[in-house]
Amino acid sequence: MAASPYLLLLLLLVHPAAAPASSALPPSQPPPPRPPQKVQVWPKPVTVSWPTAVYAPLAPSFSIRASPSHPSLRHAIAYYSRLIRSERYAPIVPPANYTLSRVPIRLLALSVADPVVPLGPGVDESYTLSVPPNTGSADISSATIWGAIRGLETFSQLSWAGGGPDSGGQPIVPCDIEISDHPLFTHRGILLDTARNYYPVRDILRTIRAMAFNKLNVFHWHITDSQSFPLVLPSVPNLANFGSYSPAMRYTDQDVRRVVRFAEAFGIRVIPEIDMPGHTGSWAGAYPEIVTCADKFWAPAAKPALAAEPGTGQLNPLNPKTYRVAQDVLRDLAALFPDPYLHGGADEVNTACWEDDPVVRRFLADGGSHDRLLELFVNATRPFLVHELNRTVVYWEDVLLGPKVSVGQTVLPRDTTVLQTWNNGAENTKRIVAAGYRAIVSSASYYYLDCGHGGWVGNDSRYDVQDKEREGTPLFNDPGGTGGSWCAPFKTWQRIYDYDILHGLTEDEATRVLGGEVALWSEQSDAVVLDARLWPRAAAAAETLWSGNKGANGRKRYANATARLNEWRYRMVARGIRAEPIQPLWCPLHPRMCHLSE
């Protein structure tokens, strides 16, 4: 009977430590050369110096102290103190040929230059970490508490269950190590769509915790869409009463504040998105008079589609009540979410849906245009966000680059507008930053985690055809086809890791790219599959956005990243994140044997 891979893993975890190297060598015999030492930290730090291959055990009395303190830092210290003391993770193949110091680490001291800098766009997250030899202490220095929190995560990953009896059963950490680290991009995020399918708060909190493990710092909460409006807002409670799937599938103000506080404690911003004027069919239950084409079949025969997918409805820019309701929504949203950024959506506006309304048809017949309709909406909502609510507005790129509906640049002042790209890869990113706008990159070709899971609309006759009917027709259900996924193929971690969000940009244009977000749209995802959909693919993006995807030689470090990400995936699982595997367990147990070439 073949041994189970999980039995092998269990044996490794129970007996984790390779024996420390012996120092009893004949005086005339030089010590054998040590192999290069690897530091298992994800994302990879910018610079690491560890010349000695010496580990030190943590003392049973190990503690973390900070001067000065801060509520978020106190939370982080308490959390990481518990994690470091209790976590007993051992690498799949533990390091060998190391020396164990006799001086245990009793203290990790945090020094923060300015502890009152608030969490926000562009905040300094740099830190340095050092474990001087034979001092019994380690140090993290940072400009802000947010950098200190990143340093605590790094220290927690340096710690592992090794050393055998000589460590007294305590975790060990590299000694005589120096790390200097900072992010390549200041905006490193995950978008989670909670409208197509609902996610309980506990699953959102677990996702935020996993983001902190990976040094991601923005949770983009796409809360509402045409399918549901799960957010309870005090000024317009009927939006959730009539727009959510059920009373059990709503987010109260207490839920939202819990998420925001939890995220801030890990140095993670929460940016809310209420998509409008498109994607608002869920508003029609409470306010049918302000929504056009609501509850219509999305793809009527021989007519233009009313929406990009099932779930029709758009806000009517010609109804004055639209703006009273929209302002109530935005005012309540700003009260719940303190971040300086607020996402206003503005993607996939459908002209046929607007034309379903007779007032809109008269407007167009009298010389109006679809672009003018969108401009009316933006001009009525954007100044309110900027001047009344003091927010920078994030829109999807469509507001400026939409193929059918868009507004001119004069409508979108650059100092208070950020545009999020998702179409045409590097091309649209370049168009946005070349026009002088700041950009967040979420290319569907690389960063959409929902892609490649097939279609989800029913009664689709294209599935009846196994092979291409004739040359030149699009691939669909045949081998190599999309299978119904509009953005196929599946975005592998390798594809995500390989992506350079600055590709094709000039040095000046690159300065306007704030960073990127991987996106999990939830037509085919819910809490049951959440972790596996996100991880470890989001971790691949996290490293490229933190320290890039190239080594010191300028070459992409994909081969090196494979083994490191595999190891990191096992550690995330040990931390309660149900990340999907990227290789058989046999591969890390047989280093280099799973390479394509030697």
Which amino acid belongs to residue 33? Answer: P
Q: How far is 249 from 199, CA to CA, in rounded Å?
A: 8
At residue 147, what are phi and psi to the nearest 5 degrees?
Answer: -70, -35
Q: How far is 435 from 276, CA to CA, in rounded Å?
A: 24
Q: How far is 540 from 4, CA to CA, in rounded Å?
A: 28
Whole-number percent of the chain with pLDDT over 70: 92
**Could you tell me if 67 and 145 are in contact, meaning their C-beta atoms sit under 8 angstroms apart?**
no
3-state secondary structure of 178: strand
Q: Is the pLDDT of residue 466 over 90?
A: no
Q: How far is 106 from 135, CA to CA, in rounded Å?
A: 9
Identify any residues that bridge with 516 across adjacent strands, giving them in sequence order: 188, 441
Domains of the chain: 37-181 (3.30.379.10)
Over the stretch 265-305, which tens digit does the pLDDT of each residue have?
A: 999 999 999 999 999 999 999 999 999 999 999 999 999 99
3-state secondary structure of 513: strand
Query: N- to C-terminal Cα distance for the chain?
Result: 31
The per-residue pLDDT for 463 is 81
Q: Is 153 a catalytic residue?
A: no
**Could you tell me if 512 and 185 are in contact, meaning their C-beta atoms sit under 8 angstroms apart?**
no
Identified catalytic residue from 87, 153, 273, 348:
348
Whole-number percent of the chain with pLDDT over 90: 83
Q: How far is 160 from 124, CA to CA, in rounded Å?
A: 28
Q: How far is 307 from 450, CA to CA, in rounded Å?
A: 19
pTM of the predicted protein model: 0.93
The per-residue pLDDT for 321 is 99
Name the residue among 255, 254, 223 with its Cα closest to residue 239: 223
Over the stretch 565-576, which tens digit does the pLDDT of each residue have?
A: 999 999 999 999
Q: How far is 432 from 439, CA to CA, in rounded Å?
A: 7
Of 366-375, 454-463, 485-494, minimum mean pLDDT range: 454-463
381 by Cβ neighbours in 10 Å (0-12 / 13-18 / 19+) ranks as: buried
Of 127-136, 341-350, 514-523, 554-563, minimum mean pLDDT range: 554-563
3-state secondary structure 26-61: CCCCCCCCCCCCCCCCCCCCCEEECCCCEEEEEEEE
Distance of CA 98 to CAs 436, 501, 580, 589, Å?
Answer: 52, 39, 31, 19
Distance of CA 254 to CAs 234, 352, 458, 550, Å?
Answer: 12, 39, 37, 43
Average pLDDT, integer, range 74-97: 93
Q: What is the mean pLDDT of the chain?
A: 92
Q: How far is 220 from 270, CA to CA, in rounded Å?
A: 6
Element (H, E) at 312: none
Which amino acid belongs to residue 59? Answer: A
The per-residue pLDDT for 468 is 62
